[in-house]
Amino acid sequence: MSSTNIMRIAVDAMGGDKGPAEVAQGVHAAARASNSRYLLVGDPVVLEPALARLAPVCANIEIVPALQVIEMDDPPATALKRKPDASLVVAARLVKERKADALVTIANTGAAMAVSLLSWGRIKGVDRPAIAVPLPSLKGTVVLLDAGATVDCDPNNLYEFAIMGSIYAEQVLGIPNPRVGLVSNGEEEIKGNALVKRTHALLLQNLQGHAPFHFIGNVEGRDIFRGNVDVAVCDGFVGNVVLKTGEGVAEMMLQMLREELNSKMWMKPLVAPLRPSLRRVRTRIDYAERGGAPLLGVNGICIIGHGRSDHYAVANACRAAERAAQHTLIETIRQRICDTPPPPPEPEPRGA
């Protein structure tokens, strides 16, 4: 956190499907509504004219030059060494050197993970990082983690994800005392694969004395989208499958709706006035709208936006980064993980 309490947000301007001008527009929108300082990292030849087109001039946006770009097919693990002047690497370095309080990127997720992990290391006490994705539900935003950072997990990893996800939901999304659920194939305690059963038993045992989060038990995929849980915890493989299944079903339904409502000429005058409502449904379910996913567990704030983010989504990701920095997210995670007694010897899972 900056000593003057004005947050400094480093934004990797060169990532994303829509190009740097779109990122600049998103940052401009966020900067107008805030007194944070924005460090827009990328090629000045592209970024200066992009910013110049946006009115009014925002004095709190500064361009930081970085002339390399990490492409989608660059191997993430070597990006840091091979492209030291890439916009993502420069932005991460600003955070490491305490010249910025948070990093926002819509570069590829693998590169964002590798660069922030290698530049900053992990928070002391955290074993593995997790990507916490905000998902839509009938009752507001639900945090799903891990969405792909750590595909093979042990119960202790999931336990740490629960702590980190709970803190993020409370501090950044403003959900008081968030309900934490374990994603399983049924709500009953005996349901789950070996990992989930072991984790469930560990959580119940751990929570008897000291409760670092509000555990409500197993939840199913349906519970996430009904909003019956605030933080849904799973390994990175399962989380990624949930995320992409959700995107796939949403995409399929929108396409079917389009086909049905465009199938007859006589429908057009009826559908036209309804378009704003149909668009609103689309907006409500669009993950890209929800403002970026934090990579939790690394020793710095890193908010990763969807590759197809538009300026609106970039602005949301910037606001999430500001809130995370204001709330000293990293300090809270470090303290909560340190304060939590190490897990006891693993109990026998019930139903085993």
Regarding 16 and contact with its own copies (CB under 8 A), the answer is no
From 63-71, 237-245, 300-308, 322-330, give the range in contact with its own copies by CB under 8 A: 237-245
Choose, by CB under 8 A, the member of 22, 74, 160, 235 that binds its own copies.
Answer: 235
Q: Which is nearer to its own copies, 57 or 265 (CB)?
A: 265
From 111-119, 146-154, 294-302, 315-323, give the range in contact with its own copies by CB under 8 A: 146-154
Q: Which is nearer to its own copies, 102 or 114 (CB)?
A: 114
Instruction: Enumerate residues 307-326 that contact its own copies by CB under 8 A.
Output: none
Count of residues in contact with its own copies, rule CB under 8 A: 57
- The CB-of-137 to its own copies minimum distance in angstroms stands at 7
Q: Which is nearer to its own copies, 125 or 221 (CB)?
A: 221
Cα gap 199→159, rounded to integer Å: 7
- The CB-of-185 to its own copies minimum distance in angstroms stands at 4
SS (H, E, C) the chain: CCCCCCCEEEEECCCCCCCHHHHHHHHHHHHHCCCCEEEEEECHHHHHHHHHCCCCCCCCEEEEECCECCCCCCCHHHHHHHCCCEHHHHHHHHHHCCCCCEEEECCCHHHHHHHHHHHHCECCCCCCCEECEEECCCCCCEEEECCCCCCCCCHHHHHHHHHHHHHHHHHCCCCCCCEEEEECCCCCCCCCCHHHHHHHHHHHHHHCCCCCCEEEEEECHHHHHHCCCCEEECCHHHHHHHHHHHHHHHHHHHHHHHHHHCCCHHHHHHHHHHHHHHHHHHHHHCHHHHCCEEEECECCCEEECCCCCCHHHHHHHHHHHHHHHHCCHHHHHHHHHHHCCCCCCCCCCCCC
Regarding 33 and contact with its own copies (CB under 8 A), the answer is no
Choose, by CB under 8 A, the member of 211, 253, 338, 352 that binds its own copies.
Answer: 253
In sequence order, the β-bridge partners of residue 135 are 142
Instruction: Enumerate residues 170-199 that contact its own copies by CB under 8 A.
Output: 183-186, 192-194, 196
- The CB-of-280 to its own copies minimum distance in angstroms stands at 6
- The CB-of-269 to its own copies minimum distance in angstroms stands at 9
Regarding 6 and contact with its own copies (CB under 8 A), the answer is no
Radius of gyration of the chain (CA): 21
- The CB-of-333 to its own copies minimum distance in angstroms stands at 24
- The CB-of-243 to its own copies minimum distance in angstroms stands at 7
Choose, by CB under 8 A, the member of 252, 268, 308, 339 that binds its own copies.
Answer: 252
Q: Name the site residues for its own copies (rule: CB under 8 A).
A: 136-138, 148, 151-152, 183-186, 192-194, 196, 220-226, 234-238, 240-253, 255-257, 260-261, 263, 267, 270-271, 273-274, 277-278, 280-281, 284-285
